[in-house]
Amino acid sequence: MVEITIGYVAGFIAAAVFVVRLWIPTILTFILSGALQDKNTAATWNVAGRALQKSYWPMILSADTSRNHGVRTKVVIITSLITLMSIIVAIAGVITPLGLYEALVEADSANVAFQYVKDSSPFDYGTPPRSNLSFNRACFPSPCPFSDTIAIGTIYSSGNGSYDFPYGYNTSIPNFITEAYSSGTADDSTISNYFDIQWRRYVTTNDERYNNGSTYLIGAFRQMQSMVLNNDIEAVEGLIVDTINGGIGMRNHSVPPGFEHGAAWSEDLLFIEPETVCVDTNITIDYTVAPGQNFTTSIIDLVLTDHGGFVNANTTYPEANLTDTQANPDLWMRAYKAGWMTNAWTMFYYNITNPHDETTGRHAFSYLNSQLGKTFPLPIYEDEMTPYDSLAMDTSFYYHLNMLSGTGITNSSSPADSGPPTNPFDITSSNFTDISLICAGAGGQDFANITNIFVSCGLMRGIPQRKDNGSPLIFDSGSRWTQPLYSCATAVKATIKTVSLTYNGTDELKSLAVNSVKDKIYPSEEVKPLWGVENTDNTYTMASISLIWGLISSAWETNPKISTVRQESLYLPGYGVSTSAPLRVTSQNLPASDFYQTAVGGAYDVGDSSSADFDYSGENNMAMWVRWQNLSSSPETAALIPNSIFTDYAAAAVVGTKGVLGPGNAATLNLVDIRVIPTVARIRYHYAFAIPALIVVIGLLATTTVAILMLVFRRGVLGEMRRHLKQSATGRVLTTFLYPDMEVMDLTEKVWSEKFAKVEVDMRGDCPSLSGVRELERSGYRAGTAGLSGYNEYKHITIQQEKICAIVDEYRSSTAFKTDI
């Protein structure tokens, strides 16, 4: 659809004016012709001739003045140029305005005051006002680092011990920690830090063990509006939410008001984002939709298909490089190792190959009973019907085998092969349970430190992909389907990104647009952010403490109680073996340590055995099912699925409290120096539309130059112009012929008008004739030295008329006249 610009409107108006300018004079000269008689005064013939000859009627009627026969070549050329230039000027008058358009452009940057902007989405409805209650944590069974809690330890003969807290347990965060992990971001920065992240929703509670029974705050999770299908980068209350790649940016939103067309600026923000790698196991689950009435999705011929995961299995045990997990978490190798172990135990389960036998010394993988495309039947139990038409994430790594006990096999299309495999090596679900821990690299009983980063692993059963012809969205009776199995590993990192923002000038948060989110560029290693994580000297396990992390200043870099790295991102500490979907309430108020672990837990708690309140499997949401189906087509895109689910949970769990106006946006003036680039409306032009005008200008310059040269080098040019005007005036020409002895052509305009303007010339008949000689008689005119009386003059004029008529008759009788005709 063509956009109607201001230039087009101006062009339309110019075209309409052009048509009107042609039409009205043409109609008026038509009316003039009707009002004009054949007998008029000489002055009337002058004025009427001027109007008629400059109209378009000579061209319309092919009148004498429109014909070039017999006309001098120079005159033809010049008069043709006059016509051509008139046409070009008219075209330019219409075409030139079409190039005009109004554009929104960036003006000079300005330093303006920001103000808080309210969110009108459900995220605002579900976000209560911020509480004045502080952060807190518990590190049972012992006091937390730097706490003033007095603990009395007792060691029993069994070797176990316990702590007693005679004066209660203080859950407050010591000043040392708050100062250290707030030092890296001052108030004059838009970058949030650890303590700028708060639970979106919270409750207060009391416990006699903590803080002498005083009220303290804990997190409370409720799902908000799901954003998982938005595939966009959006601003909601307290966050920038990226559902394209996954991640949330911390920002308490404020905007520059007062710009009609908006303004643009950029900020550096703290982002918490998942990093997921999925590896194809090269094993698929395949089945056929059972023929018949599909009131539910009944399947038959359920099998595992070997696409290289068994037959091309690596017989060497893979090892991930965990020497420096902050520099390289080696997620691909972790995921690969988990997938390798899953395939290995599955091969032992189906007797495709053998495990290592310490008794006989027989090495693993001594034989191989598989080939590309070979299938292995899977049982379906009536009491454990798995919804194979949806997404599933399995942190146990064995649900795809349907190893649960049961009776009544329903996969009866091939009864001999439908039950569980013979399982000669007695493989059970317990053989698979260590895969998550090995993939994660550390568990709850490992030391809490900067090296043991949070990693969660699981086996993804992708959305079914149709194998035969037909719609990929419809489970037709008898259709065949396949589901990929991907081994995935997810870590979470804190990083700083540069966010480009625009605000269009209204008063709602939905008018704040996120144009781009890019990794912050650092010119050198020295200016990269300094990250710190609590160093507990390995006195706490990860199950007993939530480590505090954050951006710290250089003054804290050598503190022995802080482990530091200077790099673009920090992989957050924790362990992901026992994570699950977010709990209704938390046990402490440390959102920046806890939310990402439960958000990843939610991303891996999807499908068959999910305990989550919100369904991300696609089983009950067709739009989600289609999106997951598209992403399930490859392991690279499948990695976006846990990232998207993480982001949905994280956006509902926490909120950023820092903005341009400082922590909590509490300041009345900007604490951060941000230059805003206003967007203003400016008139712009498409130069292609100026071509006709350019031709006009060239013609104007050329003709003007010629005219000037004529004025300079040729004398009497204006006199010649005056004479030619007299010679082409109809009334003067007629009176010149009728008064040949009176030198009418030499008379000034004023004298001619006084003496001959009222002379009536009758154009009826074969030649012009005079009427109104009485006017001459009353004027007492005498021509030259002739001294003729009015009567004699009348006689003279009559004789001249007779001569003119005789000349006309003679020409009409001539051969030249007949030849012309």
Higher pLDDT, 558 or 735: 558
Q: Using an 8 Å Cβ cutoff, are 574 and 597 in contact?
A: yes
Token pair 């089945």: residue: 287
Cα dist. 659→148, 226, 235, 467, 691 in Å? 33, 24, 13, 51, 52
Q: Which two tokens stand for residue 225?
A: 């509006």
Nearest-angstrom CA–CA distance, 706 and 688:
28
- Cα 643 from Cα 646, distance rounded (Å): 5
How much of the chain, in percent, has pLDDT values that exceed 70? 88
Q: Once rounded to an integer, what is the mean pLDDT over residues 37-62?
A: 78
Give, as one character, the DSSP assignment of residue 583: P
Task: Kindly report the backbone phi and psi dihedral angles of residue 48, in degrees, each rounded to the nearest multiple of 5, phi listed first.
Answer: -65, -40
pLDDT-wise least confident of 20-34, 126-140, 588-602, 759-773: 759-773
Structure confidence at residue 788 as a pLDDT band (50, 70, 90)? very low
Least confident residue range of 342-351, 628-637, 800-809: 800-809
**pLDDT (tens digit per residue) in 310-329:** 999 999 999 999 999 999 99
Give the rounded distance of the alpha carbon of 618 from its chain centre: 27
Report the pLDDT value the prediction gives residue 411, as an integer from 0 to 100.
43
Per DSSP, the three-state class of 521 is: coil
Q: Tell which residue, 173, 239, 177, 168, has the closest CA to residue 208.
A: 168
Q: Are 517 and 233 in contact (CB under 8 A)?
A: yes
Please give the backbone phi and psi of residue 49, each rounded to the nearest 5 degrees, phi first.
Answer: -60, -40
Concatenate the DSSP letters of all residues of 12-69 into one string: HHHHHHHHHHHHHHHHHHHHHHHH--SEEEHHHHHHHHHHHHTSSHHHHTT-GGG--T
> Torsion-angle region of residue 784: left (phi > 0), alpha (psi -120 to 50) or beta?
left
Is residue 421 within 8 Å of residue 350, measured between CB atoms?
Answer: yes
CA triple 734-738-740, angle to 5 deg: 110
pLDDT at 52 over 60: yes
Instruction: Give dist(CA 190, CA 656) in Å, integer.
Output: 11
Mapped onto helix, strand or coil, the DSSP state of residue 710 is helix
Distance CA 820, CA 798 (A): 30
Q: What is the pLDDT of residue 249?
A: 98
| CA distance from start to end of the chain | 57
Distance CA 371, CA 30 (A): 97
Q: Does residue 598 surpass a pLDDT of 70?
A: yes
Q: How many residues does the chain have?
A: 821
Q: Say what the pLDDT of residue 295 is.
A: 65
Q: What pLDDT is recorded for position 248?
A: 98
Beta-ladder partners of 216: 205
- Percent of the chain at pLDDT exceeding 90: 52
Average pLDDT over residues 272-300: 89
How confident is the model over 545-565, as pLDDT tens digits?
999 999 999 999 999 999 999
Which of 44 and 253 is assigned the larger pLDDT? 253
Other CB atoms within 10 A of residue 222 CB = 12
pLDDT tens column, 183-219: 999 878 999 999 999 999 999 999 998 999 999 999 9
d(CA 210, CA 193): 26
Q: What is the pLDDT of residue 246?
A: 97
* pLDDT for position 732: 76
pLDDT digits (tens, 9 = 90+) for 383-442: 444 578 899 999 999 999 987 543 333 444 444 445 678 899 999 999 999 999 999 999
What average pLDDT does this structure show over 769-783?
51
Between the alpha carbon of residue 340 and those of residues 304, 333, 771, the distances in Å are 16, 10, 122
Q: Which of residues 14 and 385 earns the better pLDDT score?
A: 14
pLDDT of residue 791: 53
Give pLDDT, residue 414.
43
Structure-token pair, residue 203: 């409750």
pTM recorded for the entire structure: 0.79
Q: From CA 676, how far away is CA 113, in angstroms rounded? A: 10
pLDDT tens digits, residue range 656-687?
999 998 888 777 787 888 899 998 888 888 88
Mean pLDDT, all residues of the chain: 86
CA dist., res. 135 & res. 173, Å (int): 6
pLDDT, mean of residues 31-55: 79
Answer with the residue of higher pLDDT: 125 or 454: 454
Q: How far is the C-alpha of 495 from the C-alpha of 353, rounded, in Å?
A: 45
Does 342 have pLDDT greater than 90? yes
pLDDT of 766 > 60? The answer is: yes
- Give, in degrees to the nearest 5, the angle at Cα 728 between 726 and 732: 55
Using CA atoms in the order 572, 574, 578, 583, what is the torsion angle rounded to 10 degrees?
-70
State the angle between helix axes of 730-738 and 42-53 in degrees (0 to 180), rounded to the nearest 10.
140
State residue 83's pLDDT score: 79
What are the start-end ranges of the E strands in 295-449?
Answer: 299-306, 375-377, 392-394
* pLDDT tens-digit map of 490-518: 999 999 999 999 998 776 898 999 999 99
Reply yes or no on whether the pLDDT at 45 is more than 90: no
Q: Which of 770 and 179 is assigned the larger pLDDT?
A: 179
pLDDT value at residue 726: 72
Please determine, for residue 66, whether its predicted confidence score (pLDDT) is greater than 60: yes
Element (H, E) at 104: strand 100-106
Could you give the CA distance from residue 357 to residue 348 in angstroms, rounded to a whole number? Answer: 12
Q: Could you identify the residue written with the tokens 């710009």?
A: 259
Rounded to 5 degrees, φ, ψ at 381 are -105, 140
Q: Going by C-beta distance under 8 Å and a sequence separation of 6 or more, which residues neighbour residue 415?
A: 409
In 3D, which of 493, 492, 488, 491 has the Cα closest to residue 634? 488
CB 646 within 8 A of CB 603: yes
Name residue 187's amino acid.
D
Q: What pLDDT was estimated at residue 777?
A: 43
Q: Which pLDDT score is estimated for 416?
A: 41
Q: How far apart are CA 303 and CA 370, in angstroms?
A: 14
In this structure, the number of other CB atoms found within 10 A of the CB of residue 164 comes to 9
Evaluate if residue 475 carries a pLDDT over 70.
yes
